[in-house]
């Protein structure tokens, strides 16, 4: 039926094709693993930025409260000066 060594040639060809497929699959899996690592890093970075934003909002809020208190004190002081001049 088959010429000598023909079946071996077919087998070797199939094995090499399967090997190439496995390499592609492995590269794909490696790429997916790298992508998942990048996504995890991105999520961690986003969380860190959000925490920084929350801290900045608190700091800005405290600063605005202090400014309002200072403005109120200045207005009171100006009114007192006007009253003493009159």
Lookup result for tokens 């400014």: 67
Give the count of beta carbons closer than 10 Å to the beta carbon of residue 13.
10
Structure token digits, residue 76: 């009171």
Q: What's residue 19's pLDDT?
A: 52
Q: What's residue 28's pLDDT?
A: 78
Confidence of residue 25 (pLDDT cuts 50, 70, 90): low
Confidence of residue 1 (pLDDT cuts 50, 70, 90): very low
Q: What's residue 31's pLDDT?
A: 81
73-81: average pLDDT = 94
Q: What's residue 47's pLDDT?
A: 93
């Amino acid at each position: 039926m088959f010429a000598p060594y023909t079946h071996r040639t077919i087998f070797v060809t199939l094995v090499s094709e399967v090997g190439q497929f496995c390499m592609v699959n492995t590269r794909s899996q490696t790429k997916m693993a790298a992508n998942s690592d990048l996504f995890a890093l991105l999520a961690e970075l986003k969380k860190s930025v959000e925490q920084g934003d929350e801290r900045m909002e608190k700091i800005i809020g405290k600063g605005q409260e202090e400014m309002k208190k200072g403005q109120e004190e200045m207005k009171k002081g100006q009114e007192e000066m006007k009253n003493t001049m009159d």
